[in-house]
Structure 1
Amino acid sequence: MVPAPRTSAQEVPDMMPLPGCSGGNCHPPTGNLVIGRGQSLRTSSTCGLHGPELYCVVTKLQDSQNCCFCDSRDGKSHGIENVVSRSDPDGKKTWWQAESGVENVSIQLDLEGAFYFTHLIMTFKTFRPAALLLERSVDHGHSWHVFRYFAHNCSDLFPGIPPGPGRRVSDLVCDQRYSDIEPATEGEVIFQVLDPAFLAENTTNTEIQELLHVTNLRVNFSKLHTLGDRPLGGLKGHPFYYYALYELVIGGSCLCHGHASECRPAPGSPPSVEGMVHGHCVCRHHTGLYQDRPWQAAEPGYPHACQECECHGHARSCHFDMALYLASGNVSGGVCNACQHNTAGRHCELCQPFFHRDPLEDPRSLHSCKPCDCDPVGALEGGLCDAYTDATRGLLSGQCRCKVHVWGQRCDSCRPGHYGLSLTQSEGCQPCRCDARGRVPGTRACDPSSGACHCKRFVSGRDCSRCLPEFWGLSGDSLGCRPCDCDFGGAYSNRCSAGQGLCLCRPHLHGRRCQELQSGYFCATLDQATAEAEHGHSLRPADPRLPVSVQKGQEEIKAHTLGGSDFVRVVDGAGLSLLAPTVPRALDYDIILRYETQVPEVWQALVRVRAQSQPRSTRCAHPLPSEQLFQVTLTHVVLLPRVGELPGLRSVDPGAPGRLQELHEVGCLEAARVSPPQSMPEACARLSCSISALLHGGGLACECHLQGSLSTECAPLGGQCPCRPNIMGRTCDRCLPGTFGLGPTGCRGEPSGPVGVGSGTSMSSLYVA
């Protein structure tokens, strides 16, 4: 291949129009964009940055060589800033050099704005690269497009890229003219955006204008030339092979669209130096926001200035779009550039993604677009929200895109019926698991954080599927469950089964509430613990068990005599010893003596209560000394329990006040005290049976006498068995006085009537053991 002729930067034809204004069309001068922008140049490789690095210089491809060390740690040796063009004749004595043996190296120029790029010239100190490519960006490096490929063998190094020249100015081709190994030094790579071959093309063509437009340029070196000694392990560290560049010229001008002949330093641009191409157009016909009409060349007397673009105060410039202009009926073609303040759209009337229009702010306000405030746990699409409100499309400004079971503008709440907002849940929240029978209707089904359901009054459990203790029958009722209402005596407690409400009954009681007796069992009356006087023993005045002798004058007192089946006649000065009835429970009892007087005078009795020996494990609440005497007006003995001390009737027990009040209202306790004993009021039966179950630990067996009773069943309250003729006793086990021979037909004989009655005032002493 014939080597390309040596061309200097000054000899490159400039296809741009001459600077200045001519015929109403203005153009700024072209210069080297690198000048003054050394700090905007960067490279991926520089020798000696980490310490001295050996390199050798091969001269004219001969064996002679000169080896040196590159040390760029002081920043003044072979950094990329050395490639900036200088007017000093000694400028070539400095150069940029890459690390030895590194083939993939890039050099990039970042411009502070948009510029026209016309040509590039690179002058190398070593061999030119065997392959490289030139890229451009028009969006400050966000995307890149290849300008041209360069290689000494395009088909091998860039397969699929046709060799140049192209047929059109925009064709992407591979140029083989600038990649030979010779010359070993001072070789150049030259690129012109507008090749002279396309002089006939209109330089105002949109396609050409786009090719000239750049914000960044990048040169990528991809292959080193070698002298045929490429090692198997690669070239890294090889001192003979490396890229070294004397000078880089990037020709161009500021981008003014034909309406400015000069440019000034743009805000934020590098400090100005002599020969620097500035990027801020000093517009004559068009200023930044006046691009709403199609551009026309300025004519004498007709500058054809554009109308202002509507950018709502969020852009400093705009550009013209002919398609939009025609679509609008030749009214408006302006498109705002680089909308600021998080705005977007042709007129900066929209908000950028992840921002939304604040309906309370003026569209021209700097704060009209607010950031989306989405909860990352419940939102989708990375926190994207509706940019504006449109009722017809179901859009609400600021509304985040929520997961399936999440709602709220921020997607920070679970939908009704769901809970537990979590990143691990693909649908955001999980459904509440509440029993519809137990949860409160018309409210959130469950707590949105914990998932605990809102239960009805008598319902419990995380899912409202269980009744509270002492309740049963979960249902859709307003309270959810019904009270167990177990009988306070018939049941062990007020707890029942959740499904059927069955209480745990004491022995021989049944029914849901434990209020029914089993066959053959009964409940004791309150006065069941009774000592019958006829079973007592006589006490003589000299009896040592009666320490107090009561006499009337100097007369001797006769002993007592039995007076029939129900009464014992005790004459004045006599005494009676009774065995106290067995009580079923350690409790305080009231001693009730039932009597009938023979004459209308006051009876006075001395009662002596002897405390029997008790097991060591028991305690008596009120021990009485054997000498203590009680003086009361009385006859017949009953031990009546103080029910207020029983479970379920104590003041601290639930329901106790109502039960005690009922006991007093129907006269249960008073009925048990009177003489002669009255029949138990019917309303007392239920409460008496409950108290009996507490005292006796359940139902009592009837134990009806097999011969003396007509049945094995007895009265539910009191336990009286149905007796055959002339038979008496609760179990029908005794003949009436005057009869005998208890058998299957009853007792034989005639019952005797009441015995004689004594006379005079009686002072009786009863000894209760």
Structure 2
Amino acid sequence: MARVQTLSNCLALLLVVGIRLAEAGGEGYMKMFAAQQNPVDPCFDEDRPRRCIPDFVNAAFGTAVEASSTCGSGGPTRYCDVSDVPGGSPGPCHVCDDSTPRRRFPASYLTDLNNPNNITCWRSEPLVSSQSFSAPPDNVTLTLSLGKKYELTYVSLQFCPRAAKPDSIAIYKSMDYGKTWQAFQFYSSQCRRVYGRPNRATITKANEQEARCTDSHRYTGGDGLAPVGRIAFSTLEGRPSASDFDNSPVLQDWVTATDIKVVFNRLHLPHGQEEFAPQEEIQTAEETGVVKELRKDLQERAKAKGHSKAQFAKADGLESAGPTVLPSVQVIGPQEMQSNDALDIDVRDMSLVTTTVITTTSTTLAHHYAVSDFTVGGRCKCNGHAARCVPDKEGELLCDCRHNTAGRDCERCRPFHFDRPWARATAKEANECKACNCNLHARKCRFNMELYKLSGRVSGGVCLQCRHFTAGRHCHYCREGYYRDPARPITHRKACKPCDCHPIGASGKTCNQSTGQCPCKDGVTGITCNRCARGYQQSRSHIAPCIIFSEIPKVVQTQGMAGEDSGEHEETEHEYGYDGRADQCGKCRAGTRRLNLNKYCKRDFAIMGKVTDRHVENGAGGSGSAEWVRFTIQVQSVYKRARESRLRRGPMALYVHAADLACKCPKVKANKSYLILGRENDGGRQGALTATQRSIVIEWRDEWHRRMRRFQRRARSCH
């Protein structure tokens, strides 16, 4: 019992210590978990962009290969192994048949998982060719489509054991998905004779994109007799600029490929068999393994058909032919010699077949090509702007572009990021694409190299289709006819305001883009050139709307409601309407908007209301044929009225003479509220509320309500 208690105490103590350690190191734990939740972005060092590249892969793995010839694709076909021993006899023969799984040798075996303990081979159809180099080549082609641009490091081929090795191999690459091809590398024991190139030529900076030819594939070192089982072409080996690859566009282009094509041109003859064997080394046909096996198969077939051995010998032509000789070379049955199950040869045809085998092999070789592994090592080409390649909706590979780049290979800048030219990322500079500076007024831009150079290679973007009435390379100023609103930043969508220059008072429609000042004619002033300057009066001419006059009359201010002065102020500027009626309208008698107690006392009524409707009436009222405009006004406040007045709150009719309205004296518009002071029987319309040139009509402001109540209290002082 005591032991149990002691163990319990120890566990409790460990738990307490663990909790305290977690509390003490809580910040460290949080950082660790944060790092796990937010993995490091390989394309950025914190917020600074840096070069990133996809992982190195075998680009050929699992990719389909197109072979121009595959053993057994046309039916069962016999092929034989070869011996690597000089002067050795051919090895055992086999049958390939694409319809039987264990006898299939498809091109898909070239790019499957390469297991040394379970080698899978692609084999071509057996070919019969001459040993002479002057004979046409035995071309068999393997074409590999990578599906995207890769930057390749090597191309490797592993040949199958007990199979003839090609003597001449050509490797080609394509950068446009198989449309055009460029020589990549050549292998041959006779480089100049087969490919017209010197053996192991030196590459200089002047020809770094030139394919070389070498005979290094034929033999390993040491005794120089054993043929190599693999060729591996290194794309940058022997290229002078390989050490400065980031700054070599030539080599960057050289290692780029979308497709690889391998062409086997000639058989590699075993050592000692490049020429025909001498006469004393000739063997008889009966001692040749392939012929023996063929004869045995034909005899069994003849027996199955009921033919006697004598009939077979006579038909075979061997009864009187004597021993037939063959050179000591690799001999296998031609493609016509298929498996017993696939052929049904009559005994009468055996002499023809046997003779063909014997006479043909005296001058030719039958062989096939066999490769177990086709490897292409490299990286998905993303120009340093992506760390991985991902499939799109159609399953095609493309780079997961960063650094504001776009394209299948991150080969261009994304839209609106053309402030500097696109460039490949290097170890020193990420060359991130930079957004154009258009102050939020444009969605498109283009790059200009001349501007980029003039800026010291800092900025070359030119904004296109500037909006919000802006203009300029960066949409940084207002276009003609607009000026900058100083109260708003240039990035604001309403940073530019229209000039609104007066059509008569201004000499043009373009104002100062900074201040908004319009160009005024002589004697005219104001931001929009809408009034005469000091010492000028309005004329009847549109050419010279303001002229000098000798005596300055006393006029009233027209720019808003002021204090409660009892007198009228002298003013040297006045507003006018350039509408062609200057000679008819004259000046408003009570066109002031400065109200005081004296003017309040001289009017019969003072009301505030909102104009809601307008109608034109012809030939009505006491003036006979005069034209009147009737407004419907909703009276909201009555500040003054006569004792017997009919003024009341609510809807009422307000009449204004059309001629006065045309001269804007008074100025009345629908859907606006006004303060109106006038005489009830003024204007010739008995019993109606009228507004004339002597009335005071001012657009209403809410702060005036208190002032009007003060006038009401002081109205007893009116005379």
Higher relative contact order (CA 8 A, sep 6+): 2
TM-score by length of 2: 0.36
Please say which structure displays the higher CA radius of gyration: 1
